Structure 1
Amino acid sequence: MTFTKMRVLMCLLAILPVCHGAVRDTYRRSKTSYNTNSMLRYKRNAPCRYWQEEFRCNDGTCITAHRKCDGVIDCPDASDETYYLCRDVRCPDYYFRCTYGACVEKTALCNGISECADNSDELHVKCRNVTNIIGSQFKCDDGNLIELYLQCDGIFHCGDGSDETSITCSGVTCPANFFQCAYGACVDSQAQCNNTIECADGSDESNILCNRRDQKRISIKSSTITPIQRQNTNLCVLPPHPKNGMFIENGVSSIYRPGTIVKDFYLNVTCQPGYKVVGGNFIICLDGFSSPNRLPTCAQCGTLTPRAEPLVVGGKISERGEIPWHVGIYKKTISGKYQLICGGSLISRNIIVSAAHCFWLEGYGMLPEEEFAVAVGKLYREWNHPRDELYVQKSDVKKIILARRFHGIELNYQNDLAVIIVKDPFDYKPYIRPLCLDFTVPFYENQRRHGDLGIVAGFGLTKDHKGSESPILKVVDMPYVPFEECLDKTPIENAEYITNDKFCAGFGNGTSVCKGDSGGGWAYGIVIDGTLRYFLGGVVSTSPFSYDGSQCNIYALTSFTDVFYHSPLIRRYWMP
């Protein structure tokens, strides 16, 4: 065949849809091999500039532009069907979107023929005869169970890694404010090229995606974003078991030997009954690089130190250890003093949840981290109160992360939530313990119902609520009020502040929170395995103003920012 005839044939193949469809079917990649057949197709690639719209493969070969991201490998180097090229493709409703982004006909799903280059059309959950979902849990291939929301979140929670694979995550659709990993998992939208691996396969930090010539030193995502630590050699040493728990290597505890030198490891931590993992529940070491730089711990989250009398309805003076998760947030003044401005809730050794408006100045924006300090284990408001000396732990603030789209009063205090990372992690004591978190939907829907009591602590204004600040920590019971009822009972001039991420709590009988209590947690108790544990449900946000000149309306309901609504932000820095 002459070269001229070859050109004519190539043009015909490019413009005739029936002919093109036949070629697609003939040279579909099978599950086992595509090399032999696809090479026949590669030979038909003409020199560049023969089509008005063309795509140049990484090896220099050119194909027609419509053949990229169509599920069929046309480039000799397969560069026309990659995650990095196709990830932003938007498929029409009548097409099926492959996990890596290509578009194929909807009939491709579960038809027994691999029509996506990554086989995701045949790995989809709809194609399986069995399921790994058991109630609200995901069953790992090794038989262990994890919470369902932990699958496909970019972090290995199964000892065998089966919760973060293309098989498990095929068919996952990520919300608009998430980044989708190459294998299908969903991570925070800011994960792309932030020098922290947040996808289990590292696709969010690929050199190709981030336009890097050389591999940069990056860290692996854990409960806190910390740089990878370099050991003295390229080998790893198995760490000692955590107190009240143990490490499990590759899903088996019997083979674990602390102090053993290995090339790499992936460890899960499990805690004894009555204890929960706080911080990341895994640690990785690869060729001497390990992350995170602090080992996971087992602690009694959400438990109270035994006290002499039960909590009573209405404000009362707290006893030390009664609210062990409460954090005092202080602002440094020009004179060098520390002024208490808000409260917060400890959820791990170095992570606090509070209200965004505590760190916001209208007309300016977020205030610098260096202007704040935090303290736990305190019973008295004063920063250096002598009676707190034996118990208190203090730290400067390393980083403040406000919820996206928080803009103070301009947006009616919507998204009024902040995550604070401290410089010096706290040590757990009987009077310093983290609050529990659970973001599973069944737990969320079943455990917070109308009238359920939660407890709130703070150093806010006292009963006269006209300027006298409480010198000692106080605690109050506040019943849960759903969004709709809260909106009905809120004065019309304040209704705009009851945004869709809020719920309310309170009696409206003169017992309430007030100025200085902002950011404190609304914690509700659940009996689990015979132990009463408290979980963080909301963060003190706003309350209607008072008409009598006082600084707060103690006869109105208080609005709380719902932590479940902001679970993606919190989970980015904390993992159970």
Structure 2
Amino acid sequence: MRSNRGGKKDVGAGLKYSHQAQNINGFEEGVEFLPANNSRKVEKRGPKRWIVLLALLIFFILISLMVGFLVWHFNYRNVRVQKIFNGFLRITNENFIDAYENSNSTEFANLASKVKEALKVLYNGIPALGPFYKESGVTAFSEGSVIAYYWSEFSVPQYRVEEVERTLSKEYVLTLPPRSRALQSFNVASIVAFPTDARTAQTTRDNSCSFSLHARGEEVTRFTTPGFPDSPYPARARCQWVLRGDADLVLSLTFQSFDVAPCDNDGNDVVMVYDSLSPVEPRAVVQLCGTYAPSYNLTFLSSQNVMLVTLITNTVRRHPGFKAKFFQLPKMTECGGRLTGMQGTFNTPYYPGHYPPNIDCTWDIEVPHHQNVKIRFKLFYLVEPHETLGTCTKDYVEINGERYCGEKKHFVVTSRSNKITVHFHSDESYTDTGFFAEYLSYDSSDPCPGMFTCKTGRCINNTLRCDGWTDCTDFSDELDCVCNSTYQFTCKNNFCKPRFWLCDGLDDCGDKSDELECSCPNGTFRCGNGKCIPKSEKCNKKDNCGDGSDEAECDSVSIVPCTKYTYKCRSGVCLSKGNPECDGKQDCSDGSDEKNCDCGLRSFIKQSRIVGGQNSDEGEWPWQVSLHAAGQGHLCGASLISSTWLVSAAHCFIDELGIRYSEPATWKAYLGLHDQSKRSATGVEERGFKQIIPHDAFNDFTFDYDIAVLELDKPVDLSTVIRPICLPDSSHTFPAGKAIWVTGWGHTKEGGTGALILQKGEIRVINQTTCEDLLPNQLTPRMMCVGFLTGGVDSCQGDSGGPLSSVEDDGRTFLAGVVSWGEGCARRNKPGVYTRVPVLRDWIKEKTGV
């Protein structure tokens, strides 16, 4: 608003009209001029220009605000959003009858009608809900006295959605007087509702893929996704399985086979299991997607006699789905208890299955007087997907006032007396495997007789002290050490580390001191040929090293001169980027670096939880092949590189003792095999060979060029347990210190016997110079050392020809090497020797076309 002060015009100021006598000379009107009081007011003028502009500006602002308000009012405020809430309520004056399990029964319909009327009365009585409430539907009933599971639909203005969700998040008891005869003597309590995933909401009115199952006695009930296993489950489907048991029992559900679309963020297919008959997030037990090995633990327990399994598919990918079984168990009457004696074990309920939700267990442990208690957790998995890191507010173990949760490797908790209390709690949602623990009594003055005591209380062998590897979670086994100068060096922080970790480009000490004593000074780059150049000359698109190594591992991709360190595209140009093949990014202009990349990906990508050894999971290494010689069983391993070709070691096919190992007819290949005693198991394929091609330059004395390719007599069908591994380009590097996996059915110790279950071991690439010092005059450029100088993990007899698998950051696996030879198995300072695959990549291509 504009002010009137000093701006109002007086049009009569200084001018006055009057009638006077007529002049004798003629008739005229008299005019008298009076003095002006304010000379500035004499001249009549319009408003100043800035005032006009300001007025126009304010006018347009007001118009804009009004238009905006009208747009918001008609296009936002009045926009209605359909919101579905799933919930459940307890009817306290009803007893459950069998007819309530049948949604088509008269009894079900009558009780459902009362529930819907009660919900209508409740919601209409709440100002924040009543105007938006539309309808409700009842999906199921269960015991206790009677629990009704329902959905409610609201049509809510967009701007009031949060208010409605906040109001519905409270628990209600129906206390309003009945407004209809249907609610007379109908007592309802514990009414709760939760926002529902829009995909799940569609199942409330679609019964085309809905099933209801009831366990009987001790029988096992089985069910599958539609079409399993002969055809994939329906695309864009909404399926659910209502699982029931008898009153006062609980259910045990196990997925025996599970293969749905991979987990991703783009509308993935998902299976949800609920400890309820209503699909509400606070009662979700587990969310599953992707593929699991048959040996993976997928057993889940309920806290009551019902469970709900839902499958929501948003893709058209072809996957078989799942096969599951369930049965009923007596409900636990107590959990925990009193434990006494020198030692013993205890675990979460139903271990190794997933513990049930909504449970508390307490163990009071007491050992003899003058002793202390040590709790050693051998396995510990209390992972809650929505748990805030470090808070342990959902599932946890509490000891000495401290809570533990998450995934932990071996850890120990001790007491200051001969008593200790362990409390375990799980909330109403997501569950896990739990823990397996043992308690021990010990003398506090000597807690680990004959062993080293970590500051955490854990006992380890004295041989692990000061060996360069951290075996105590608090590093206490590697503190205050005197390093063995023969095979160790001393970091500036006084840690001892293996000498072969020097100058490998990795910060093994933690203070980078293992990378400061290299031959090249600070600020320079060490070339592959040992030459030192300024770091400024690295990745400048010039071969300053002379061997191309300064341009081989650059973040930016550029075309550089071709050397043995560079990747060559099919077009003939070479790239500066290291290991560009099959990394998911097209670096070659012709796309050749990302062609033929249907390899090296495992269906079973879940982390294995290994108990008591290094057994692999079924399907964990789908390129692993077992080679059987006639009448002798398993002798060597091999790697699948395509549907018709394998890579193995040439020394496996040397004729000896009158046996023609070089003849294809001598051998059988078993693909998809996990257990040597189950070669006829489902998924295992047996093949013969058309030809065996060892390298022409193979030397059976030095084992140089120890590689062979084998052609199957007919192609193998690829599956979740049979897939090829990726072959690295000839420029691909596996640097010293890199962790790599070796697998096979070979001897589990030197001079021992072979394994039935496929074994796996994680080892590290050893610096070539160090390896040459350990095995003088025995290595060639076609060989690489992988293992530990302290021994302990290694390949052995029977593993020959098998894969050395390098798992990259994106999960794709490359064949880094082939098991070749070694001095004994897992000896100290005698690492295993493997054939370098990149060096022989061109030969493999020449012989197989792969």
TM bucket (normalised to shorter chain) is 0.3 to 0.5
Larger strand percent: 2
Give TM-score, length-normalised by structure 1: 0.43
Give TM-score, length-normalised by structure 2: 0.30
